[in-house]
Amino acid sequence: MAPPKAGKTFPSITECDGLKYESIAADLDGTLLISRSSFPYFMLIAVEAGSLLRGLILLLSLPLVIISYLFISEAIGIQILIFISFAGLKIRDIELVSRAVLPRFYAANVRKESFEVFDRCKRKVVVTANPTFMVEPFVKDFLGGDKVLGTEIEVNPKTKKATGFVKKPGVLVGKFKRLAILKEFGDESPDLGIGDRESDHDFMSICKEGYMVHPSKSASPVPLDRLKSRIIFHDGRFVQRPDPLNAWLTYLWLPFGFILSIIRVYFNLPLPERIVRYTYEMLGIGFSALFAEMSDRIVPVAVNCKQSMFYGTTVRGVKFWDPYFFFMNPRPTYEVTFLDRLPEEMTVKAGGKSAIEVANHVQKVLGDVLGFECTGLTRKDKYMLLGGNDGKVESMYNGKK
C-alpha cells in the first residue's frame, strides 16, 4: 500500500453522515472523547492503583510532560506519563481501576457527533496512544468497539508488575498507528478514519475516507443512556475528574482537609453523650431481611451522602481511611428522608409476607427515593466487577498474591 500523501487535508466530522460505512478506525482522546488530554486518566491510575504520593509526582512532572510533548516528541511525553503512572504497579490493580474507576469519567466525556458516526459502523476499531488495557474495558463495554489498538505495556513476568516501559514498536503515535491499522485490516482498508490531530493523518490517509474532529468548546457529550452499558459502580476516591486544575486544588486542600477530618472524627469523643450528633456511613441499600421479622412497625429511612471532592467508600482501598476521606470534603452532607410507615399488609406477622418479600419491597422504596434502579447483578457479579474475585475469603486472599 502506498505511503500517505504529505500535507493531505480532511473535511470536518460534521460533514460525515456515517450511513454508508461498514468499518471505522478512530482515535480516542480528542476524537471519540471531547478532551484531547489523557492526563486525568493517568492521574486516576496513579492515585487509585498507586498512591496519593505517586499522583503528586505525576502532577509535578506535568510541565516536563508538556514541554516534551510539544517541543520534542509526542511519544516521549506520553512515555513519561506511562512510566510515572505505571512503574511498579501490579497489572491486576491497573486492570481493576480501568474497569471500576475510569469508565465513569470516560463516559461523561464522550463526544456526541463522533460517537454517532462511530456507532453506525459495523466493525469498530479504536487506535490510541494510551495503553491498551487502560482503555479496552471502556471502549468495548460502553462504546461498543470491537478492537483496541493501543500501546502495549512491558510487564515483569515474575512479579506481574508493570516496568513503566512499553513494548516495541513503542508508543502508538504517527506511523505506528498506520502500521497497526495495516496489520489489523490487511489489504482491506477501513472505510472511515477519524482523528483530531496532525499525527493521526498517517492512519487516516490509508482509510477510504477520513474526517477531522476539531476542538470545540461547544462540543456536547453523549447522554449516558445512549452508551452501550450503564454506569453502575464507581470505586474511586475522586468525585471530580482530576484535570490539572482540579488536581492542583485537591492536593492544596489535602493538608487542611486531613486536619479537618481528624477534628470531625475525634472531636465528639470527649463530649457528653446527650449532645453528640450520631451518624453512619452510607454503604448502599443492600441489607439483611432479618429486620422484617423483628417488628411490623417499619419506617424506611433513606440516607443520601453528598460530597464534592472525595468519596468515603471503596472496595479495593484501605477501609480504615473511609471516614477520613469522607470528612476531608469541605462540606460533607447526609440527606436523611423519613418515608411513610409500611402498611400492615406488607409486613411479616400482620400481612403474611415473607421476610425476603418485605426486604425487597423496602429496598425498592428506598431505591426510588435515592434514584437507584435494580440491576439484576448477583453478589458474585458485583465482586468480580469491583474486586476481581467472587467475594469468597479464599479467592480474595489468592487474588492478592
> Residue 7 has what pLDDT?
54
Is position 7 within any domain?
A: no
pLDDT over 80 (residue 1): no
Average pLDDT value for the chain = 86
- Asked if residue 157 and residue 304 are part of one domain, the reply reads no
- Asked if residue 265 and residue 363 are part of one domain, the reply reads yes
Which whole number is the average pLDDT over 78-85? 96
Q: Which of residues 216, 233, 252 is at a domain's end?
A: 216
Is position 210 within any domain?
A: yes
Please write the tens of the pLDDT for every residue from 247-275. 999 999 999 999 998 988 887 666 666 66
- Asked if residue 182 and residue 127 are part of one domain, the reply reads yes
pLDDT over 60 (residue 4): no
Please write the tens of the pLDDT for every residue from 317-351. 777 788 888 889 998 888 888 988 988 888 888 88
Top-confidence residue, 36 or 231:
36
Q: Where are the beta strands (DSSP E) in 42-186?
A: 123-131, 147-151, 153-156, 161-166
- Asked if residue 249 and residue 186 are part of one domain, the reply reads no
- Say which residues have a Cβ less than 8 Å from residue 143's Cβ, sequence separation at least 6: 32, 110, 115, 118, 119, 124, 126, 227, 228
Instruction: List phi, psi (to 5°) of 206.
Output: -95, 0
pLDDT over 60 (residue 396): no
> Residue 282 has what pLDDT?
44
* Cα-based distances in Å from 104 to 142, 231, 232: 10, 6, 9
- Asked if residue 298 and residue 337 are part of one domain, the reply reads yes
Tell me how far apart the alpha carbons of residues 33 and 113 are, in angstroms, rounded to a whole number.
10
pLDDT over 80 (residue 286): no
> Residue 118 has what pLDDT?
93
Tell me how far apart the alpha carbons of residues 319 and 259 are, in angstroms, rounded to a whole number.
19
Structural domains counted in the chain? 2
Please write the tens of the pLDDT for every residue from 118-161. 999 999 999 999 999 999 999 999 999 999 999 999 999 999 99
Q: Which of 261, 263, 379, 245 is nearest to 312 (CA)?
A: 261
pLDDT over 90 (residue 316): no
Range of the domain at 283: 244-399
Is position 232 within any domain?
A: no
- Asked if residue 117 and residue 62 are part of one domain, the reply reads yes
Which whole number is the average pLDDT over 352-374? 85
- Asked if residue 211 and residue 257 are part of one domain, the reply reads no
Q: Which of residues 216, 235, 256 is at a domain's end?
A: 216
Q: Which of residues 200, 216, 232 is at a domain's end?
A: 216
- Asked if residue 257 and residue 193 are part of one domain, the reply reads no
**Cβ atoms 181, 25 nearer than 8 A:** yes
- Asked if residue 268 and residue 161 are part of one domain, the reply reads no
Lowest mean pLDDT among 36-40, 58-62, 251-255, 285-289: 285-289
Which whole number is the average pLDDT over 103-111? 95
Q: Which of 191, 188, 154, 193 is nearest to 170 (CA)?
A: 154
- Asked if residue 264 and residue 148 are part of one domain, the reply reads no
Is position 238 within any domain?
A: no
Is position 227 within any domain?
A: no
Is position 236 within any domain?
A: no
- Asked if residue 110 and residue 199 are part of one domain, the reply reads yes
Kindly compute the dihedral angle of the four CA atoms of residues 242, 244, 249, 252, in this order, to the nearest 10 degrees: 110
Is position 151 within any domain?
A: yes
**45 SS3 class:** helix
Is position 379 within any domain?
A: yes
Task: Kindly state the cell numbers that stand for 64.
Answer: 516536563
- Asked if residue 248 and residue 212 are part of one domain, the reply reads no
Give the domain CATH number at 177: 3.40.50.1000
